[in-house]
């Protein structure tokens, strides 16, 4: 099954994508994680992307589409995949259609902006492997340490309050139109992001399996 997870920054789409990835045993492809890794490694596109990411802006369609093409050509995507954070613009969605990749469902995790602003301040990400946590909703077993690789968990630079406002504005302007795009294709399913992560996960899994 090929799925897309859509949602404003901090809505919890990554967390839900991870749950579904484990349940269906298909890879979760986070373009944000790939870009952060590239920025850390100082690759040419990584450095270009870093400036945009730190400012809360989107990385250019060319770069992100190139990354995605390479990633979904890998063997582990043969039986399906979950796109987490891609597409984020209509041209990216059109590029996906042009690649003849059949998308089965688009799951939107819907959370009001006000809730997001409160939630994002608790987010943490592992410097080592990119795993994500939340101090309240999804804490690591040992505070500040990643459960998966033992790396340090830190606040993402783009989770600073002013950057979050910018990312939300970008989401509404550039990404939210995808709801219409996939709605017209009959693929959009909206899941209300509940207060408890586990409740959202139940709704998400039900939406995927329906
Ligand atoms: P995320 O981890 O999904 O919140 O992504 C973090 C940042 O990476 C975003 O704010 C963008 O700057 C960049 N990014 C990730 N995915 C995309 C995409 N599909 N198109 C453009 N920029 C992206």
202 in a structural domain: yes
| pLDDT score of 159 | 87
Around Cβ 74, how many Cβ atoms within 10 Å?
11
Residue 107 lies in a domain: yes
Q: Does a structural domain hold residue 121? A: no
Query: What pLDDT does residue 158 have?
Result: 84
Dihedral (CA of 11, 189, 24, 100) sign: negative
Q: Work out the average pLDDT over 155-177.
A: 91
Retrieve residue 55's tokens.
């400012």
Band (pLDDT 50/70/90 cuts) for residue 136 is: confident
Question: Considering only 144-148, 156-160, 164-168, which range has the smallest mean pLDDT?
Answer: 156-160
What's the pLDDT at 18?
95
Paired residues of 82 in beta bridges: 3, 28
- CATH code, domain carrying 168: 3.40.50.300
Token pair 């302007």 in the structure block, residue? 173
Residue partners of 184: CB distance under 8 A and separation at least 6: none
- Ligand 1 atom closest to the Cα of residue 14 is 3
Residue 35: CB within 6 Å of ligand 1?
A: yes
Element (H, E) at 153: strand 153-154
Name the active-site residue from 50, 71, 124, 167.
Answer: 167
Whether 131 is covered by a domain: the verdict is: no
Q: Which segment, 39-48, 100-109, 130-139, is predicted with the most confidence on average?
A: 100-109
Q: Identify whether 51 is part of a domain.
A: no
The pLDDT of residue 199 is 93
Q: Is the pLDDT of residue 121 over 90?
A: no
Q: pLDDT-based confidence at 133, cuts 50/70/90?
A: very high
Cα 27 to ligand 1 centroid, rounded to whole Å = 18
pLDDT of 31 above 90: yes
Residue 36 CB less than 6 A away from ligand 1: no
**Domain that residue 180 falls in:** 2-26+79-112+162-209
E strand or H helix that includes residue 28: strand 28-30
Q: Is 159 in the pocket of ligand 1 (CB under 6 A)?
A: no
User: Is residue 59 within 6 Å of ligand 1 at its C-beta?
Assistant: yes
Q: Which residue has the tokens 């039900």?
A: 206
Q: What separation in Å is there between the alpha carbon of 88 and the centre of ligand 1?
A: 8
Closest-lying ligand 1 atom to the alpha carbon of residue 92: 19
Say how many domains are in the chain. Answer: 1
> CA-CA distance, 64 to 70, in Å (whole number)?
10
> Measured in angstroms, how far is the CA atom of residue 90 from the centroid of ligand 1?
14
pLDDT at 44: 87
In sequence order, the β-bridge partners of residue 4 are 83, 106
123 counts as catalytic: yes
Please check the confidence at residue 107 and state whether its pLDDT lies above 90. Answer: yes
C-alpha to C-alpha distance for 176 and 118, rounded to whole angstroms: 20
Task: Calculate the average pLDDT of the chain.
Answer: 93
Is 119 part of the annotated catalytic residue set?
A: no
**pLDDT category, 194, cuts 50, 70, 90?**
confident
């Amino acid at each position: 099954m090929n799925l897309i997870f859509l949602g404003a920054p901090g809505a919890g789409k990554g967390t839900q994508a991870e749950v579904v990835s484990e349940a269906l045993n298909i890879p979760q492809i986070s373009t944000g994680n790939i870009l952060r890794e590239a920025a850390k490694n100082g690759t040419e596109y990584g450095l270009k992307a870093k400036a945009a990411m730190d400012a809360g802006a989107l990385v250019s369609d060319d770069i992100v589409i190139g990354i995605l093409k390479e990633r979904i050509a890998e063997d582990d995507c043969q039986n399906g995949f979950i796109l987490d954070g891609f597409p984020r613009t209509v041209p990216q969605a059109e590029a996906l259609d042009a690649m003849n990749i059949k998308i089965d469902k688009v799951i939107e995790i819907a959370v009001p902006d006000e809730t997001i602003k409160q939630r994002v301040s608790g987010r943490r990400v592992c410097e080592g492997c990119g795993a994500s946590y939340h101090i309240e909703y999804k804490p690591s077993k040992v505070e500040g340490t990643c459960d998966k690789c033992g790396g340090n968990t830190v606040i993402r630079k783009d989770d600073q309050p002013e950057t979050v406002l910018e990312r939300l504005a970008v989401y509404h302007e550039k990404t939210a139109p995808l709801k219409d795009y996939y709605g017209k294709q009959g693929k959009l399913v909206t899941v209300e992001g509940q207060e408890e992560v586990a409740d959202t996960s139940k709704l998400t899994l039900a939406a995927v399996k329906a």
